[in-house]
Amino acid sequence: MEILINILLFAIMVACAMAIAKIRHLFAVVMLSGAFSLLAALLFVTLDAVDVAFTEAAVGAGISTVLMLGTIALTVRREKPSYRSSFVPLLVVILTGAVLVYGTLDMPNFGDPNAVVHQHVGPEYIERIPKEVDVPNFVTAILASYRGFDTLGEVAVVFTAGIGVVLLLSGLGAKARRPKILAQNSDNNEASS
């Protein structure tokens, strides 16, 4: 049953991806990419990765769709038709895909209890968390406590990204600069007069 659900979800995702590649109307593309994210979130739920599914649904399907729509409102609604040959891009995509598939051959089988992650890291956390942190959600315990430094770095990354976008787009810098330029101009005027 789970395999059936997985195959169904993957099939819809592939269909979404193909439609995204084909459609020129960007509004439909953005909506489809939101649907793609939601399907990915469902896949994470079937993998029991609820925290990741949560993030994917909220960020991928929610916020980024809104931001993409905002971008469309600032630019154009239709993708420009491309007249270049698509041979080289196709070759690159096929090669990358082949490399990725080749990479999966070395990966442990899905749900394999002998996989490396299930050998020492996982059991150790399962043993230590109830004693040391005593929080039922192990993901929170690992992210916030054992990996506190990493999460601090992540928050710093989000902070930097936010500051960057605010500085680039919202024109705060321009507002701050304008009075100075005016003041300089008036100085110059005074000097020349």
Partner 1 sequence: MMRHHVILRVITKVLIGPIILFAFYVQFHGDYSPGGGFQAGVIFAVAFILHGLVFGLSTVQKVMPPKWVHKLIALGLLIYAGTGFAGLFMGGQFLEYNVLAHDPIHGQHNGILIIELGVGMTVAAVMIAIYYAFAARPPRISDEEW
Give residues in contact with partner 1 (CB under 8 A): 27, 50-51, 53-55, 58-59, 62-63, 66-67, 70-77, 132-137, 139-141, 143-145, 148-149, 151-152, 155-156, 158-159, 161-163, 165-166, 168-171
Residue in this structure with the two tokens 């916020």, named with its chain if needed: 63
Between 23 and 133, name the residue whose CB sits nearer to partner 1: 133
> How far does CA 179 lie from the centroid of its chain?
39
Smallest distance, Å, CB 177 to partner 1?
A: 17
Structure token pair of residue 7: 């195959």
- Residue placing its CB nearer to partner 1 in the complex, 75 or 192: 75
Least separation in angstroms between residue 120's CB and partner 1 is: 23
Locate 53 and state its tokens: 């599914």
Residue 89, token pair as written in the block: 């891009």
Q: Which is nearer to partner 1, 90 or 165 (CB)?
A: 165
Instruction: Please report how close the Cβ of residue 99 comes to partner 1 at its closest, in angstroms.
Output: 31
Least distance to partner 1, CB of residue 161, Å: 7
- Whole-angstrom distance, CA of residue 105 vs CA of residue 159: 38
Least spacing, CB of residue 151 vs partner 1, in Å: 7
The C-alpha angle 136, 154, 169, rounded to 5 degrees, equals 135
Helices H / strands E in the chain, number of each: 9, 0
AA letter at 186: S
Kindly state the smallest distance separating residue 135's Cβ from partner 1, in Å.
5
CB nearer to partner 1: give 9 or 143: 143
Q: Which residues contact 24 (CB under 8 A, 6 or more apart)?
A: 78, 79, 81
Nearer to partner 1, 14 or 155 (CB): 155
Nearer to partner 1, 5 or 156 (CB): 156
CA distance 38 to 53: 9
Rounded to 5 degrees, what angle do the CA atoms 77, 83, 85 make?
130
